[in-house]
Amino acid sequence: MSLAELQKMLAEALVERDSIARAPAWTDRAARTLTGSTRMTPVEQLDVYREQFWWRHVACVAEDYPTLAALMGAEAFEALVTEYLEAHPPTDFLLRNLGARLADFVEARRPDDPLLADLARVEWAFIDAFDAADAPLLDPAAVAAIPEDAWPAARIVLQPSLQRLALGYPAHEMRTAFLQQQTLSRVQPAPTFLVVHRNARDLRLHQETMDDLAFAMLAHLAAGEPLGPAADALAAETGREQEVQARIGEWFTRWAALGWIARVLADSPM
């Protein structure tokens, strides 16, 4: 058997969910390829690797979703992750990416309990924020040098670590309680607008909630819209033009203080 054929057999064996130790087809394939030992037959040896594959991958997903695992219970969470990995087997060598699609999977599989999907989104947001690219801190001098009449056309560049979540539950409160070793209790449904980010100054992960208007403005800016058109679009969408105009300065100051803004791109009008 060539190396490529051996690798193919191992790949096929690893993704078998149930034991292959007594499967006739696998017994035959293993006997023609592996040597076995005094303690294990060839197929039993292969089954050990298959079992370890599943244990390791389920454990990796559990590490990224500890609050969800605690809420569901070990048995239910393992069953969910097993189904998830069967539907979305690993596609690269990075274990970090294993759980990237779990929130959508949970939403589809458990529509009866939307809190589970919201909690999964919160936990994955922290993974993405932690691993995001670096960007320089906002330069106050550069901001101060921008002419007043250039601000409407200015583009606000946000830090890459910013993760924006519109949730039906304040699921982040459950994650905080779990990490602080408090009693884990289900939260009640409530529209929640959450930002998770890695602070460029202390490199620690933070979370911040905001109201719907601020969150919508942040979405326009994240899409690359200039400040003036973004404010105009938000005012048209919400019918709250006066409030939008009154709060732009407040938002910019707050987001700059939190370290969310990396740069302001502005050209002086001709």
Q: Supply the pTM of this predicted model.
A: 0.85
The answer to whether the CB of 143 falls within 8 A of the CB of 264 is yes
Q: Are residues 190 and 248 in the same domain?
A: yes
The answer to whether the CB of 262 falls within 8 A of the CB of 159 is yes
- Residue 91 domain boundaries: 1-112
The answer to whether the CB of 126 falls within 8 A of the CB of 92 is no
Domain count, the chain: 2
Q: Confirm whether 122 is domain-assigned.
A: no
pLDDT truncated to tens, each residue of the chain (270 aa)? 677 777 777 677 677 777 877 888 888 887 887 787 878 887 787 777 677 777 788 899 999 999 999 999 999 999 999 999 989 988 878 888 999 999 999 999 999 999 999 999 999 999 999 999 999 889 999 999 999 999 999 999 999 999 999 999 999 999 999 999 999 999 999 999 999 999 888 889 999 999 999 999 999 999 999 999 999 999 999 999 999 999 999 999 999 999 999 999 987 554
Tokens of 83: 């189904």
Q: Confirm whether 121 is domain-assigned.
A: no
Residue 205 three-state SS: strand
Q: Are residues 154 and 243 in the same domain?
A: yes
Q: Confirm whether 64 is domain-assigned.
A: yes
Residue 225 three-state SS: coil
Q: Confirm whether 125 is domain-assigned.
A: no
59 vs 2: CA distance, rounded Å: 32
Q: Are residues 138 and 270 in the same domain?
A: yes
